[in-house]
Amino acid sequence: MPALQTRISPCLWFDTQGEEAATFYTSIFPNSKIGHIERYGEAGKEIHGQKPGNVMTVDFTLDGLDFVALNGGPIFKFTEAVSFQIYCADQKEVDYYWDRLTVGGDPAAQQCGWVKDKFGLSWQIVPRPFIELMKSGEPAKKQQMFAAMMQMKKLDWPKLQAAYDS
């Protein structure tokens, strides 16, 4: 069994869709792969309630970051309290991730670069130059850019840059 690449790894709780989610996510991100799949056995069946042979966990890597998908049943759901940020080099990358992660997702959960995918997991799709300007730009111009961002669902980097420059 290969060693884990990272010391800390997000574990995502799904009802039964862990393998489907891992397959979906690894199809979107570069440098990604599915690793070990562990299945439930007889041990603990009276507690976990799963049939032996059902997928329990899926180890997968997204763009070099290790994750685990756990099929733990319907007890817990994702909320916006935890999200994953995707820093994009340009508008083309923003469009790429937006178009793929919103398929089957919740359109009502789309605001200011946030999306909720078809599994209920929240993502923030953000142009890296926006973050850089928010950290080091001129205060008045940052406020103009922030005001423009608040009116958007998918972030539009050229419009955000224009708002900063105005």
pLDDT band at 1 (very low <50, low <70, confident <90, very high): very low
Least Cα distance to 162 among 132, 135, 130, 136 occurs for: 130
Indicate if the pLDDT at residue 44 is higher than 90.
no
pTM of the prediction? 0.91
CB 70 within 8 A of CB 14: yes
Measured in degrees and rounded to the nearest 5, phi and psi for residue 147 equal -60, -40
Mean pLDDT of 17-27: 98
pLDDT band at 5 (very low <50, low <70, confident <90, very high): low
All structural domains of the chain, each given as residue ranges with its CATH number in brackets, are 11-71 (3.10.180.10), 83-165 (3.10.180.10)
Indicate if the pLDDT at residue 136 is higher than 50.
yes
Model confidence pLDDT, tens digit, residues 69-103: 999 999 999 999 999 999 999 999 999 999 999 99
Report the 10 Å Cβ neighbour count for 121: 20
Instruction: State which amino acid sits at residue 119.
Output: F
DSSP states of 62-119: ETTEEEEEEE--TT----TTSEEEEEESSHHHHHHHHHHHTTTS-GGG-BTTEEE-TT
CB 152 within 8 A of CB 142: no
The pLDDT score that the predictor gives to residue 100 is 97
The pLDDT score that the predictor gives to residue 6 is 73
| Lowest model confidence (mean pLDDT) among 23-27, 44-48, 118-122 | 44-48
Query: What tokens appear for 72 in the block?
Result: 């733990």
Mean pLDDT of 22-37: 98
Indicate if the pLDDT at residue 3 is higher than 60.
no
The pLDDT score that the predictor gives to residue 49 is 83
pLDDT band at 141 (very low <50, low <70, confident <90, very high): very high
The pLDDT score that the predictor gives to residue 4 is 59
Cα–Cα distance list, 12 to 15, 20, 92, 99, 151 (Å) = 10, 12, 28, 22, 30
